[in-house]
Amino acid sequence: MVPLLSLLALLSLTLALPGCALRAGPPAREVNGSGAAQPTVSSSSSSSARGPSLFSHPWSWTDEHGQAVTLARWRGQPLVVTAMFTQCKATCPRTLAKLRRVQDDFHRAGRAAEFVVVTLDPDNDTPQALLRWKSSTGLPDSWHLLSGSLADTRDLRDVLGIHVINDGPHLLHDGRIVIFDGDGRPARAFEGYALDDEVRL
């Protein structure tokens, strides 16, 4: 009985927090696997101590132009990755605003980086929908908007440390941006209040 009450209390607290927009789809509660480890972001850690490379995963994605891509395409340069979905009205706009500031910081520092946004809602965010969203929100042409299978999307969420609860019409999730180095290992992350902070690279 106690575990059930604890679960209900946690769910009530989560739903009370700022989440994302209503979304279409059948009711289904889904939470990331409990064993997922969040990225280590200490710049002093060795590459081997920071876990497997992002490029070691056999994921396959489709970009907003309908082209098949893998993340290994951007091996050798910093890769800034986050996940969101087009109908989100709370967490995602804050994350996007931070992502723009991160890009500005790279430009000011004279450093190149690739920016990747993966949808958390691949059933509804088709490549065509992502392209329309990119245009309507004025996202930079150089950013890559990707969709993939539900399994690959869950795996990437685990790597990024983004937790999702799908409670029917609501898709609640963390806002988190991870910067990976040229070897595909996490070097820095922004989440929570840090999304609003003016933190420089």
Is 74 within a domain? Answer: yes
Mean pLDDT for each 10-residue chunk of the chain (201 residues)? 42 42 36 37 42 90 97 96 88 89 94 96 94 95 96 93 74 85 94 58 56
pLDDT at 132: 96
pLDDT at 3: 47
- Six-digit token pair at 18? 């700022």
Strand partners, 191: 176
Which H or E element spans position 22? none
Residues 55, 156: contact at Cβ < 8 Å? no
Is 201 within a domain? Answer: no
pLDDT at 110: 94
- Six-digit token pair at 107? 């430009």
pLDDT at 9: 40
Q: For residue 86, what is the domain's CATH number?
A: 3.40.30.10
Q: What is the pTM of this model?
A: 0.74
Is 7 within a domain? Answer: yes
Residue type, position 19, single letter? G
pLDDT at 52: 84
pLDDT at 198: 54
Domain holding 20, by residue range, is 2-195
Our count of domains for the chain comes to: 1
Strands (E), the chain: 61-63, 68-69, 79-84, 114-119, 144-147, 164-167, 170-173, 176-180, 186-191
